[in-house]
Amino acid sequence: MTMSEIQNWHGTTIILIRKDNDVVVAGDGQVSLGNTIIKKTAKKVRKIEKRNVIAGFAGSTADALTLFERLEAKLEKHAGNLTRAAVELAKDWRTDKYLRRLEALMAIADKEKSFIISGTGDVLEPEDGIIGIGSGGNFALAAAKVLMESKLTAEEIAKKAISVAAEICVYTNNNITVEKI
């Protein structure tokens, strides 16, 4: 999987915001197949209550859900250590014959750390506490960077960033789901 393949995935916008003591992941609800909207109310963000971890995913929904389950298992195995779980998931994703075919990106966070995980083995931690993935991810990321200087909360910034992406990206809608820790 090349970075150009990742950038060409359509169908979602996920934004992760870390501001003050809040960590928020927000995603839109649109699922598209080609140029047809299949569903408007998909939930692309999840919370692992037991470990106080939130995640958003972009790409194939079934693939992302498989990866989310694997992340949950890695968190259990590594006693909630998000960094270790993320690295182990990325290793498996890159080397496992079945997982290698999964097409998704994940934005994950706990109270201390945030990461983007990809099938190419990348585990990237943003310097500024903001992650944008999916077809509208760069639009949401740009909006969030500007809004971080405002008095808005992390949740308000995430919602506004998704709304901006929805105005630009045809694969993004305003049906926003938010998870917060």
What are 48's two structure tokens?
């692992």
Among the listed residues 30, 78, 25, 90, the one whose alpha carbon sits nearest the alpha carbon of residue 51: 78
Q: Give the catalytic positions in this structure.
A: 12
User: 92 or 4: which carries more pLDDT confidence?
Assistant: 92
The answer to whether residue 82 is domain-embedded is yes
The answer to whether residue 93 is domain-embedded is yes
The DSSP 8-state label assigned to residue 50 in this structure reads: G
The answer to whether residue 43 is domain-embedded is yes
Give per-residue pLDDT as tens, 128-177: 999 999 999 999 999 999 999 999 999 999 999 999 999 999 999 999 99
CATH code at position 30:
3.60.20.10
**For residue 119, pLDDT beyond 80:** no
Q: Is 54 exposed, middle or buried (0-12, 13-18, 19+ CB in 10 A)?
A: buried
Confidence of residue 35 (pLDDT cuts 50, 70, 90): confident
**For residue 2, pLDDT beyond 60:** no
User: Which domain, by its residues, includes 150?
Assistant: 3-176
Mean model confidence pLDDT for the chain: 89
What pTM did the predictor assign? 0.89
User: Domain count of the chain?
Assistant: 1
The answer to whether residue 181 is domain-embedded is no
User: Which residues partner with 133 through β-bridges?
Assistant: 14
The answer to whether residue 136 is domain-embedded is yes
